[in-house]
Chains A and B, each alone.
Chain A
Amino acid sequence: MTLLRVRDLSKQFVIRGQGGLLARKASFTAVDQVSFDVALGETLAIVGESGSGKSTTARIAARLLDPTSGSVEFEGEDISRATGKDLARFRNDVQVVFQDPFSSLNPRYTVERIVTAPLTYQGIAPKGGRRAFTRELMERVGLNPDHSQRYPAQFSGGQAQRIGIARALAVNPKLVICDEAVSALDVSIQAQVIKLLMRLQRESGFSYIFIAHDLAVVRQLSHRVAVMSKGRIVELGSRDQVFGEPRDEYTKTLLAAVPRINPEWDRRRRLSKGRS
């Protein structure tokens, strides 16, 4: 079942130069005629280099930005121009996890307040009370529930990102948009958070749009992959097709450029690991 349907999405930014009355205006097309679907329970990764338009696309899909043209349908309804109740319901169903956990968590709020904020805004009282609700969520994302009264600064980067994930899950979303959500993390922490994201999807069955520049990370957790370059989707296909038999020249270049651990050394290490 198609959860999100994006059609011919474009976004232009107007850059106003200096010069008072005679200032020149220029426009820059960040996203150009982008179309894709996200099915319920699947992970669509959008990969690309800086300036490819992947983050802008994600932001429009989350209605954090308005598109210049095109449509975003969520469960069959066009939400790209929705307001009021429709928009509120959409905001409830779609949650975003950002790259920098510390700047996206209010440093003056406790974990409990951060995690229950989405409910508070909608006037929902969690069943069993805030404390119990927060503890349960913290356990789900692998945090110590006894720390629910702590502030973001008292957590490490990986833990803070788990708080961000917990906040996203608080409202039982149908779609979680991860905007470079694991990019700032150290590799060992990154691996844990990737596993967490995959486990949560298996448990709850929601969809991900996973924005990333790291192709190796995308290889681990995506079902389908869209490769973006200069605002356009140059290739869209299943993960194994895109990584195994890329059709587009740019995709091939991108894949070839990714540094790899010497495969021969890696094979020998795994062999000896298997033996011991």
Chain B
Amino acid sequence: MTDELFVVEDLTVTLPTSRGPVDVVKDVSFTVGRDDTLGIVGESGSGKSMTALAVLGLLPPGARTSGSVRLDGRELLGQSEGELRSVRGNAISMVFQDPLSSLNPYYTVGLQIEEGYRAHRGGSKRAARQVAIEAMERVRIPDAARRVDDYPHQFSGGQRQRIMIAMALCCSPSLLIADEPTTALDVTVQAQILELLAELQTQTGTGLIFITHDLAVISSIARRVLVMCAGDPVEYGTAEQVFSDPRHEYTRTLLDAVPRIDDEVML
């Protein structure tokens, strides 16, 4: 068993709505070790993205949280904005679903990688630029030294997501949270990004939380799986157990509904 890098205990997120407060995440607990990958899977409204945003204190205004979120033993929940800022993009990074809208169209990708690095590590612009180029090379953007000055719209969808990953990894975080990082991408590009993530993880030992609605993707990348439904954690176990011997009825329904490419199960 891996050591516990990241521990979430009884995390509850409450959002204000017009009909009063609603618990969108209810008593969620999980752990992520170094070099470990946890998959969080669920359909829309299951609370999987809210869980991720809660970890970094990025919830919409008015949201309340309870429970415990610890990175290397350090409590994150309820910390001041300043404390959380020093964690975001530094010890814990995030990659989002739609890389085009997640990058600011007005600035070069280089600047957008550099600014995160300099916010945490300081240093000169030139040093940060070098870091940005190296980060882009690591995610295999060809001709990185020249393309560092290009704008997001000049890259393809897959390259943009690679840049998001470069941005997330430039401060060598101990945990990377990827929220539906391949959902907006074509299937061949998705395969490349999944491969890249797995490879970078082997190199760096970063813990990974991979959030998706796609069970097949989870099966190919996650070591352990948390299944969520309407804010509830319905099943939590190793990927092998969840896929081969699901305990919860909802997990079984979900698995039955997935169309299989090698098989026609619905006819």
Complex: A in contact with B (CB within 8 Å): yes
Query: Which A residues lie at the B interface, using CB under 8 A?
Result: 49-50, 186-188, 190-191, 194-195, 198, 213-217, 219-221, 243, 253-266, 268-269, 272-273
Q: Which of B253, B254, B255, B267 contacts A220 (CB 8 A)?
A: B267
In the bound assembly, the distance between CA atoms of A263 and B189 in angstroms comes to 22
Say yes or no: is B119 at the interface (Cβ < 8 Å to chain A): no
In the bound assembly, the distance between CA atoms of A215 and B264 in angstroms comes to 12
Say yes or no: is B22 at the interface (Cβ < 8 Å to chain A): no
Does A191 lie within 8 Å of B188, measured CB to CB?
A: no
In the bound assembly, the distance between CA atoms of A275 and B220 in angstroms comes to 26
If the complex has contacts A191-B266, A220-B264, are A269 and B244 also in contact, measured as CB distance less than 8 A? yes
Q: Return 16 A-B CB contacts under 8 Å, by A number.
A: A49-B186, A187-B215, A188-B254, A191-B258, A214-B259, A219-B260, A219-B263, A220-B266, A253-B188, A257-B190, A259-B187, A259-B220, A260-B220, A260-B261, A261-B260, A266-B244
Does B262 lie within 8 Å of A263, measured CB to CB?
A: yes
Say yes or no: is B191 at the interface (Cβ < 8 Å to chain A): yes
In the complex, what's the smallest C-beta–C-beta distance from B243 to chain A, in angstroms?
Answer: 4
Say yes or no: is B83 at the interface (Cβ < 8 Å to chain A): no
CB contacts (< 8 Å) of B259 on chain A: these are 190-191, 194, 214, 216-217, 219-220
Say yes or no: is B1 at the interface (Cβ < 8 Å to chain A): no
CB contacts (< 8 Å) of A186 on chain B: these are 43-44, 213
The winner among B239, B246, B254, B255 for most chain A CB atoms within 10 A is B255
Closest to A195 in B: B266
Closest to A268 in B: B244
Q: Which of B43, B216, B245, B264 contacts A272 (CB 8 A)?
A: B245
CB contacts (< 8 Å) of B267 on chain A: these are 198, 220
In the bound assembly, the distance between CA atoms of A269 and B243 in angstroms comes to 7
Does B213 lie within 8 Å of A187, measured CB to CB?
A: yes
Interface residue ranges of B104-118 to A (CB < 8 Å): none
Does A213 lie within 8 Å of B186, measured CB to CB?
A: yes
CB contacts (< 8 Å) of B215 on chain A: these are 187, 261
CB contacts (< 8 Å) of B216 on chain A: these are 216, 258-261
Closest to A192 in B: B257
Closest to A243 in B: B261
In the bound assembly, the distance between CA atoms of A216 and B219 in angstroms comes to 15
Q: Which of B189, B219, B254, B263 contacts A262 (CB 8 A)?
A: B219
CB contacts (< 8 Å) of A262 on chain B: these are 219-220, 239-240, 243
In the complex, what's the smallest C-beta–C-beta distance from B118 to chain A, in angstroms?
Answer: 35
CB contacts (< 8 Å) of A50 on chain B: these are 157, 186
Say yes or no: is B214 at the interface (Cβ < 8 Å to chain A): yes
Say yes or no: is B194 at the interface (Cβ < 8 Å to chain A): yes
Does B219 lie within 8 Å of A268, measured CB to CB?
A: no
Q: Which of A217, A257, A263, A265 contacts B188 (CB 8 A)?
A: A257
Does B187 lie within 8 Å of A261, measured CB to CB?
A: no
CB contacts (< 8 Å) of A219 on chain B: these are 259-264
CB contacts (< 8 Å) of A268 on chain B: these are 244-245
Interface residue ranges of B185-202 to A (CB < 8 Å): 186-191, 194
Q: Which of B44, B190, B219, B245 contacts A261 (CB 8 A)?
A: B219
Produce 1/0 per residue, B144-173, CB < 8 A to A: 000000000000010000000000000000
Say yes or no: is B53 at the interface (Cβ < 8 Å to chain A): no
Closest to B194 in A: A259
Q: Which of A190, A213, A215 contacts B257 (CB 8 A)?
A: A190
CB contacts (< 8 Å) of B253 on chain A: these are 188
In the complex, what's the smallest C-beta–C-beta distance from B185 to chain A, in angstroms?
Answer: 9
In the complex, what's the smallest C-beta–C-beta distance from A17 to chain B, in angstroms?
Answer: 16
In the complex, what's the smallest C-beta–C-beta distance from A149 to chain B, in angstroms?
Answer: 24
Q: Can you list the 10 inter-chain pairs with the closest CB atoms, starting with the nearest? A: A49-B186, A191-B257, A265-B243, A186-B43, A265-B244, A259-B216, A216-B259, A257-B191, A268-B244, A216-B261
In the complex, what's the smallest C-beta–C-beta distance from A253 to chain B, in angstroms?
Answer: 6
In the complex, what's the smallest C-beta–C-beta distance from A97 to chain B, in angstroms?
Answer: 18
Does A265 lie within 8 Å of B240, measured CB to CB?
A: yes
In the complex, what's the smallest C-beta–C-beta distance from A50 to chain B, in angstroms?
Answer: 6
Interface residue ranges of B14-56 to A (CB < 8 Å): 43-44
In the bound assembly, the distance between CA atoms of A274 and B91 in angstroms comes to 46
In the bound assembly, the distance between CA atoms of A259 and B192 in angstroms comes to 11
Closest to B42 in A: A186
Q: Which of B43, B243, B260 contacts A216 (CB 8 A)?
A: B260
CB contacts (< 8 Å) of B260 on chain A: these are 216, 219, 260-261, 266
In the bound assembly, the distance between CA atoms of A191 and B261 in angstroms comes to 14
Produce 1/0 per residue, B192-231, CB < 8 A to A: 0010000000000000000001111101100000000000
